[in-house]
Structure 1
Amino acid sequence: MTQISESTILATFDDLVSKGSIIYGPYETVNGDVDGYPMAFRICPSLTKKPHAVGAKLDPSFDKSEKWGPGSDMYLTDQRLRVAVLNGTHDLALNLFAIDRPQFVLLTLDSYRRQHEPLDVDDFKAALEMVNELKDIYAIFNCSEAAGCSRVHKHMQGLRGPPTAFDSFTKGSSKIPFKSFAHHFTSGFSSVPASDILGVYQQFLEKTRKLLGKNEQEVCPHNVVLWRDWMIVVPRRQAAVEKASANAAGMLGSVWVPERSGVDVWLRLGCKSVLEQLGAPATKE
């Protein structure tokens, strides 16, 4: 990865926001707790322009924008969104709909790859480049619409860390309200081969299939988080309960909503109940 300074990235991000090529704006954070499992709801009015389901149309202002390849449903509103090519297989780019300053998206150069496909070794190689080169960024993957994705071009995202509830996983907390699998790579993301991460991931994916009753030919909804030398995999049963939805970051306590009513839905339904239904209720091994 070509070295790009954080100041350069931020300057580009701010300029693209000012020109409307990136959607980002002020937000409010409401902190909560689910029986010892921390939650943070970020109310981002700018997200009203974001499509929240596969196939949903973008804001009309993007209709004439170039797409990110012939098979892509991602939009390239400005060539400066491209930051670098990683591993020769992925574009690292600034995310069009940002909740962080900045937020990244890591897209396959093969724009016909799809979001319901499991991660492969090239995905992990590119993700490792991203988290190792960019300061305080964690990677997430939402495998299929049931796991919270809204675009089908295969991609991961890079967000400002830490995930709100990350410590619950590293400490083996009994307060996590859904089933998950976690592994610490003791050699660190700076040294571990992508093939080693893939091997652990495939073991977790097989456990997820069994838990969800999926065979290898079926789509297996799940989330992946990579942060501070840990990989966390969360089996998913659905994307939303009523209008309470979550992607990988949301399952780790960082929920994004466009307006306060989104928080109210979570509170009305009960955060623990929502998380259990989005994932699978936690069970003792």
Structure 2
Amino acid sequence: MGDLDESKINDVFDQLVSEDILVYGPHESIVRDAEGYPIEFRVCEHLTKKPHTVGAKLSSAFDKSRKWGPGSDMYCPDERLILGQLNGTHDLALNLFCVDKPQLLLLTLDSYQRQEQPLAHDDFKAAMEVLRRFPSMYIMYNCSETGGCSRTHKHLQGLRGPPFAFDYMIRASEGKAKVPFQFFTHHFSQGFFHSSDADVLKVYTKLLDQARELLGVDEASVCPHNVIMWENRIIVIPRRAGFIEGASANAGGMMGCVWVPERKNVDEWERLGYANVLRDLGVPS
């Protein structure tokens, strides 16, 4: 993986798209306002092929592929999806269903690890390597189905930054704006490049404890939350729901970029009220 760069990743990406192995296509962008909080809806028709809930079946074309290890509910229809390994603990791969070019997966080699588990030291070590190697990418994690995940094999994702509402959220953390839901954040003044994995894990643990307290969840129970890492900041968003009627969001959605397969999903957000959906998916501020 020593010579891997974004140009080479994009070459593999384009080849797999041309062969209909990787699911990607154009999208319509619809920008809305949730009581001041900016939201972009990306209407991606190709996402109709994606399973949106835990346990949802893939199409028969994918079901014939090998699973990503014993106990995994993720499929690898082509070995070229795997870009390399991170520290002997994670595969770095292309996401099979993409809204960004490229969209990365950091998938645990221990395929029995689950998405309802908090992030651990090895996860942060892999995440930090990706952030340092690909500075245009941000990292996100959807903890549990309530946190917006659709597959249970533990994985983080890398997408092209910045998250849509990132600057607004930072202003909110400084008391200069208001977000419909509560979140916790920490800025690493020394930067991710000069922070150790242990430093980041320690901060995350503190933020997760705050999320547990807010949700009333003890350490023995699942704490649904989202994690975002970008521009030397980590953000933790406590979650109360993955879906509200016809509206849903993962970590990217809570950060202002909601991916939907059809225009009617945007209409459902509008019917319920954009800020109301965010409050119900998270914890009202």
TM-score (norm 2): 0.97
Q: Which letter does structure 2 place at the counterpart of 1:70?
A: P
Q: Which residue of 1 aligns with 2:36?
A: 36
Q: Deviation of residue 225 (structure 1)?
A: 0.1
Match of 2:273 among 270, 274, 278: 270
Q: Deviation of residue 35 (structure 1)?
A: 2.1
Tell me, yes or no, if structure 1 residue 196 matches structure 2 residue 202: no
Alignment coverage as a number of residue pairs: 282
Equivalent pair of 1:146/1:239 in contact (CA under 8 Å): yes
* Corresponding residue SS for 1:265: helix
Q: Deviation of residue 211 (structure 1)?
A: 0.9
1:124-203 aligned within 5 A: 124-171=124-171, 172=173, 173-203=176-206
Q: Deviation of residue 175 (structure 1)?
A: 1.7
Equivalent pair of 1:2/1:84 in contact (CA under 8 Å): no
Distance in 1 of aligned mates of 2:266 and 2:281: 16
1:1-285 aligned within 5 A: 1-171=1-171, 172=173, 173-282=176-285
Q: Deviation of residue 153 (structure 1)?
A: 0.4
* Corresponding residue SS for 2:269: helix
Equivalent pair of 2:43/2:261 in contact (CA under 8 Å): yes
Equivalent pair of 1:26/1:44 in contact (CA under 8 Å): yes
Unaligned 5+ segments in structure 1 are none
Q: Deviation of residue 159 (structure 1)?
A: 0.6
Q: Deviation of residue 20 (structure 1)?
A: 1.6
Q: Deviation of residue 164 (structure 1)?
A: 0.7
Distance in 1 of aligned mates of 2:72 and 2:98: 19
1:15-54 Cα offsets, whole Å, 9 max, x none, are 1111121100111100111222111000000000000000
Distance in 2 of aligned mates of 1:65 and 1:85: 20
* Corresponding residue SS for 1:16: helix
Distance in 1 of aligned mates of 2:111 and 2:63: 19
Q: Which letter does structure 1 place at the counterpart of 2:276?
A: S
Q: Deviation of residue 3 (structure 1)?
A: 2.4
* Corresponding residue SS for 1:12: helix
- RMSD between superposed Cα atoms in Å: 0.9
Equivalent pair of 2:142/2:156 in contact (CA under 8 Å): yes
Equivalent pair of 1:169/1:182 in contact (CA under 8 Å): no
1:197-256 Cα offsets, whole Å, 9 max, x none, are 111111111111111111111111000000010000000000011010000010010100
Distance in 1 of aligned mates of 2:87 and 2:41: 34
Distance in 2 of aligned mates of 1:161 and 1:25: 19
* Corresponding residue SS for 2:194: coil
Unaligned 5+ segments in structure 2 are none
Equivalent pair of 2:5/2:134 in contact (CA under 8 Å): no
Single out whichever of 84-93 and 39-48 deviates more from structure 2: 84-93
Q: Deviation of residue 126 (structure 1)?
A: 0.2
Distance in 1 of aligned mates of 2:157 and 2:244: 23
Distance in 2 of aligned mates of 1:26 and 1:246: 20
Q: Deviation of residue 62 (structure 1)?
A: 0.8
* Corresponding residue SS for 2:130: helix
Equivalent pair of 1:95/1:103 in contact (CA under 8 Å): yes
* Corresponding residue SS for 1:204: helix
Distance in 2 of aligned mates of 1:2 and 1:77: 25
Distance in 2 of aligned mates of 1:241 and 1:104: 27
Distance in 1 of aligned mates of 2:31 and 2:186: 27
Q: Which letter does structure 2 place at the counterpart of 1:247?
A: N
